[in-house]
């Protein structure tokens, strides 16, 4: 690697018009929103109080997946597996076979890239109720390609029997944790951890597995979004509303199975259909929506907001989100441009 490329990849950047920020930042900007600490960990503890079959496993990352909250509450039901993701998922499969409901946590890159075959053969093929809950999905860390799981949805979407969830905020993480605990099969859930913004709670939102829901209505364009990009879409819609551009936001937290009925109805009535996701443009929500539309003969004017098909730089998240066009400002500019 050349010196210039090394600097490009690993030195912190300075956002235009703002102070320098550390490349170590791994949390989201959520200006104007209340935050909730460790919603996954606290929700799992609440569920486990009445279900002794729930156990927690982690690959040396309990603090960084909020599973430490569960470990403190139920130390006898917590298993620290060390940095051995393949062994952790195999052990989770064994526990599931014995009647337990394992929640196994790590970073999304390590589950999708390092342990895929073990998840496929030990968990998905047997349809075991292992819940795979993974932090740092997509571009939620500035650590660079080793920790940025920008292609995890593409990797897992082709795996039979696996439900895939990409929640937006603290409210949905807590609700989805309860829902996947009650579900009979394997689940992969992307996780926002630490201080997580509460975006949907004030809207009275209720998570339903397999369902997409409108969280804002407008007639000029429809944005189908998942994960924190739903928060970004709502913020962009507010900015555009000041310009008399009204945007619908259809939140689709279940990536697989996709709520094709709701999405196709929205697509058929959309002046412009935009998908927004914290994932590479290849193989995620956007291509799932596009595929559903093509198969059913629904042909809206279609655009994607997503990460590029490349290994991303390291740096400060606000700078990277602007650079890769997934910030609120970038969303506004793109949607405005497509409508004019």
Q: What pLDDT score was predicted for residue 225?
A: 98
pLDDT at 254 over 80: yes
172 is catalytic: no
For the chain, first and last CA: distance in Å?
A: 42
* Mean pLDDT of the region 149-160: 98
Residues 112-126 pLDDT 10s: 999 999 999 999 999
Q: Choose, from 31, 85, 151, 310, the residue flagged as catalytic.
A: 85
SS3 334: helix
Longest CA–CA separation in the chain, Å? 60
Q: What pLDDT score was predicted for residue 11?
A: 38
Fold of 210-339: Rossmann fold (3.40.50)
Fold of 35-197: Rossmann fold (3.40.50)
Confidence of residue 30 (pLDDT cuts 50, 70, 90): confident
SS3 38: coil
pLDDT at 25 over 90: no
pLDDT at 3 over 70: no
Residues 102-112 pLDDT 10s: 999 999 999 99
Instruction: Determine the distance from the C-alpha atom of residue 34 to the mean position of all C-alpha atoms in its chain, rounded to a whole number.
Output: 19
Q: What pLDDT score was predicted for residue 28?
A: 73
Mean pLDDT, the chain, as a whole number? 93
- The Cα–Cα gap between 40 and 51 comes to 16
* Mean pLDDT of the region 253-268: 98
Tell whether the torsion through CA atoms of 205, 158, 137 and 110 is positive or negative. Answer: positive
Q: What pLDDT score was predicted for residue 17?
A: 35
Bigger pLDDT: 119 vs 1: 119
Spell out the domain ranges in the chain: 35-197, 210-339
Residues 188-245 pLDDT 10s: 999 999 999 999 999 999 999 999 999 999 999 999 999 999 999 999 999 999 999 9
Domains 35-197 and 210-339 share a fold: yes
- The Cα–Cα gap between 199 and 216 comes to 12
Please, are residues 133 and 65 in contact by the beta-carbon 8 Å criterion? yes
pLDDT at 62 over 80: yes
Q: What pLDDT score was predicted for residue 24?
A: 38
- The Cα–Cα gap between 152 and 161 comes to 16
Confidence of residue 27 (pLDDT cuts 50, 70, 90): low
pLDDT at 19 over 90: no
């Amino acid at each position: 690697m050349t010196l210039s490329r090394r600097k490009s990849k690993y030195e912190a950047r300075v956002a235009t018009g703002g102070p320098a920020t550390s490349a170590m930042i791994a949390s989201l900007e959520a200006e104007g929103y209340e935050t909730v600490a460790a919603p996954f960990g606290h929700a799992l503890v609440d569920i486990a109080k009445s279900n002794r079959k729930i156990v927690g496993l982690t690959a040396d990352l309990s603090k960084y997946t909020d599973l430490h909250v569960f470990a403190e509450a139920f130390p006898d039901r917590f298993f620290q597996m060390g940095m051995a993701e393949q062994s952790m998922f195999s052990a989770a499969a064994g526990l599931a076979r014995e009647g337990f409901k394992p929640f196994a946590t790590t970073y999304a890159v390590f589950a999708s890239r390092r342990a895929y075959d073990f998840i496929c053969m030990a968990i998905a093929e047997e349809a075991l109720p292992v819940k795979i809950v993974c932090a740092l999905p997509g571009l939620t860390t500035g650590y660079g390609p080793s920790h940025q799981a920008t292609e995890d949805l593409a990797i897992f979407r082709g795996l039979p029997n696996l439900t895939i969830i990409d929640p937006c905020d603290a409210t949905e993480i807590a609700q989805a944790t309860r829902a996947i605990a009650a579900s009979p099969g394997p689940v992969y859930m992307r996780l926002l951890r630490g201080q997580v913004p509460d975006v949907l709670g004030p809207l009275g939102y209720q998570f339903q597995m397999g369902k997409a829901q409108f969280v804002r209505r407008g007639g000029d364009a429809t944005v189908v979004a998942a994960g924190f990009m739903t928060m970004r879409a709502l913020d962009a819609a507010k900015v555009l509303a000041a310009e008399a551009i009204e945007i619908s936001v259809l939140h689709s937290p279940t990536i697989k199975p996709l709520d094709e009925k709701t999405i196709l109805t929205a697509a058929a009535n959309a002046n412009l259909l935009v998908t927004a996701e914290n994932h590479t443009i290849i193989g995620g929500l956007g291509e799932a929506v596009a595929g559903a539309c093509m198969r059913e003969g629904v042909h809206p004017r279609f655009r994607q907001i997503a990460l590029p098909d490349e290994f991303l730089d390291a740096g400060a998240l606000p700078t990277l989100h602007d650079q890769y066009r997934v910030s609120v400002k970038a969303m506004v500019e793109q949607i405005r441009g497509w409508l004019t």
